[in-house]
Amino acid sequence: MSAILQVRGLRKAYANGFEALKGVDLDIEEGEIIALLGPNGAGKTTLISTICGITTATSGNVTVGGHDIETDFRAARSMIGLVPQEINLEPFETVVNTVRFSRGLFGLPRKDKIVETVLRQLSLWDKKDNQVKELSGGMKRRVLIAKALAHEPRVLFLDEPTAGVDVELRKDMWDIVATLKQSGVTIILTTHYIEEAEAIADRVGVINKGELLLVEDKTALMARMGKKELAVQITAPIDTIPELLASYDLTLSENGKTLTYTYDTRAERTGITSLLSAMSEAGLQLSDVETRQSSLEEIFVGLVHDGKDAA
Amino acid sequence: MNWAAIRSIYLYEMSRFFRTLLQSFVSPVISTSLYFVVFGAAIGSRIDQVEGVSYGAFIVPGLVMLTVMTQAISNASFGIYFPKFIGTIYELLSAPINFLEIVIGYVGAAATKALFIGIIILITSFFFVDITIQHPLAMVAFLVLTCISFALLGFIIGIWAKNFEQLQLVPLLIVTPLVFLGGSFYSISMLPPFWQGVSMFNPVVYLVSGFRWAFFGLSDVPVLASLGAIALFTGICVGVIGLIFKTGWRIRE
Ligand SMILES: Nc1ncnc2c1ncn2[C@@H]1O[C@H](COP(=O)(O)OP(=O)(O)OP(=O)(O)O)[C@@H](O)[C@H]1O
Ligand SMILES: [Mg+2]
């Protein structure tokens, strides 16, 4: 299966000379959800803007459904829906009009049925005749999504769809994304929330300083990059880690009753067996043992941090 | 050409205009009436005729031009500046339309609005003075061309402007003086020779003169020169817009 979105060697230098994208390669398969993670200023919005035609690339090329975004921009853009990061809406326009306008801009005939479906899907139908300025922030964000969906795109870009959105609405947003995925839409979203990527994405990409550090299957990523922790409860508290255990990466909790061992699941030997026997050798009585998988967040912070060290 | 998209932009812009229809019409009608009171009645009573035409009637073409030019510029510049300002321009840039289609949609709507207002003013002036239009077709042609070319200029200003001050700067500092010094309220031949020479560098002189010729059959400059001037002016605007299109200047940076 060929990728629905193909990015090759994409570079973007802004007018002031700042290089926001330093050669990005990315393939996105039809029907998947990919989450792009990265700190502020990483280049997420720039990447999306360049693909969607808001800014022009300095070099490299992008195809959407096999159509080059420059030479065949009409076909390429017809497939794309864009939900920008900022809430850019005309305050005095009514919801239904602004959604209709978006559809019209794509040269499509006015179909009120489709507009209605989209508005209902986003729970905006009862607000259709309200002016945009009368809506809450979360509703406005949904209007942006409705506008992007009005021309029935195959690929949807969501630039931080849940920024500044409360927990409940964020769950709603995830449901919307899941429904869209079911209808076959490919979704590329950016987010600062690791749990969001963990909850809804199939694959995760990490961007930092204009470079795509990695793109991986979410579960594979966690398994590959994941560090595990082994927490060992001991019955009698201790003040210091016994000499015998000095060679292990251990930390002792404040109350002296928990020893935490961090190990790498990628390593050939985790060292758990020898650690446990060394513990009994040191005379420690174990009362409980627990392991914990590190979250994407820790992986992410680790990656970005390593990137900084290298720079 | 994505005509359906152009139509969408055009109708969307026009709907904004019709929503505020009353405002759009009331202010030009009031200001025109004031011009008639001040120039036509007060001053006009002391200048009885200009080249065989009563002063009140003489200023009608200039008055229509003055309003049409300023309206075309302000409508077009605001029309494209507004989406830039509130950020909705992302929609235009990410839609499967090219810059030419955007220009046609916005400039077309701005020119139409200016034309509407021009016609309203013309109708208003019929209540104040007697006028017969000698060359109605030429009159319409000059009016429409002026609406389009000044809407093009307005579009360029709207793209160029980075803030509201700049949006008003060009119309205020350049266009208004050119229009007032363009023979709207007087015949160029009334000026001393030196200023007549200077006036020949003012493009507005050609437009007003051609337009007035369509009404009364008299002009400051030959009609062909007027046509040439408006064609040249339109050509320059189209050229500049083409350049903006190619470079993405102030749009796709
Ligand atoms: N128009 C511009 N001109 C110059 N530099 C820009 C412009 N837009 C963005 N940048 C710079 O490019 C870099 C990437 O910005 P971008 O908006 O893509 O980041 P982001 O990953 O979306 O960040 P955030 O999470 O804060 O939205 C930043 O350093 C930013 O300052
Ligand atoms: Mg961003």
Q: How many Cα atoms sit within 13 Å of A156 on the Cβ side?
A: 28
User: Quick one: A246 and A277 in the same domain?
Assistant: yes
Task: Looking at chain B, list the stretches that DSSP marks H as alpha helix, in order from N- to C-terminal side.
Answer: 3-19, 21-35, 55-86, 89-94, 99-126, 136-160, 164-170, 176-180, 193-199, 203-216, 223-247
Domain identity same for A288 and A166: no
Q: Whose CA is nearest to atom 6 of ligand 1?
A: A14
B173: which DSSP letter? Answer: I
Are residues A244 and A143 part of one domain?
no
- At B121-160, the pLDDT tens digits run 999 888 888 888 999 999 999 999 999 999 999 999 999 9
Whether residue A308 is contained in a domain is answered as no
Nearest-atom index, ligand 1, CA of A38: 21
Residue A304 located in a structural domain: no
* Pair (A116, A206) in one structural domain: yes
* Ligand 1 near A46 CB (within 6 A): yes
Residue A111 sits in the same domain as residue A150: yes
Longest CA span, chain A: 79
The overall average pLDDT reported for chain B is: 90
What total of structural domains would you count in chain B?
1
B115 lies in a domain? Answer: yes
**Prediction ipTM score:** 0.89
Residue A54 and residue A177 share a domain: yes
Residues A245 and A181 in one domain: no
In-domain check, residue B253? no
Please check whether residue A239 lies inside any domain of the structure.
yes
Statement to judge: residues A41 and A97 lie in one domain: yes
Q: Are residues A200 and A249 in the same domain?
A: no
CA distance A34 to A218: 9
pLDDT band at A310 (very low <50, low <70, confident <90, very high): very low
User: Domain for residue B252, yes or no?
Assistant: no
Provide the domain limits for residue B64: 3-247
pLDDT at residue A309 greater than cutoff 70: no
Note the pLDDT of residue A225. 65
- Whether residue A303 lies inside any domain: the answer is no
Pick the residue from chain B with its C-alpha nearest to A153.
Answer: B95
Is residue A93, in this structure, part of any structural domain at all?
Answer: yes
Q: Which residues of A22-33 are buried (b: 16+ CB within 10 A; e: fewer)?
A: ebbebebeebbb
* Model pLDDT for residues A99-135, shown as the tens digit of each residue: 999 999 999 999 999 999 999 999 999 999 999 999 9
Q: Is A14 in the pocket of ligand 1 (CB under 6 A)?
A: yes
The per-residue pLDDT for range B10-54, each reduced to its tens digit, is 999 999 888 878 877 788 888 888 888 887 777 777 777 877 888
Q: Is the CB of residue B97 less than 8 Å away from at least one CB of chain A?
A: yes
The minimum-distance atom of ligand 1 relative to the CA of A160 is 27
Kindly state whether residue B73 falls inside one of the protein's structural domains. Answer: yes
Based on the domain organization, do A252 and A211 belong to the same domain?
Answer: no
| A134 and A75, same domain (yes or no) | yes
Residues A273 and A164 in one domain: no
Name the domain count of chain A. 2
List the CATH number of the domain containing A132: 3.40.50.300
DSSP-assigned states of every residue in A97-144: HHHHHHHHHTTPPP-HHHHHHHHHHTT-GGGTTSBGGGS-HHHHHHHH
Q: Which domain holds residue A280?
A: 227-293
For a substitution probing ligand 1, which of A40, A48, A83, A190 has the most ligand atoms within 8 Å of its CB? Answer: A40
Angle, in degrees to the nearest 10, between helices B136-160 and B99-126: 130
Question: Which CA distances in Å does A160 have to A95, A212, B93, B175?
Answer: 21, 17, 20, 44
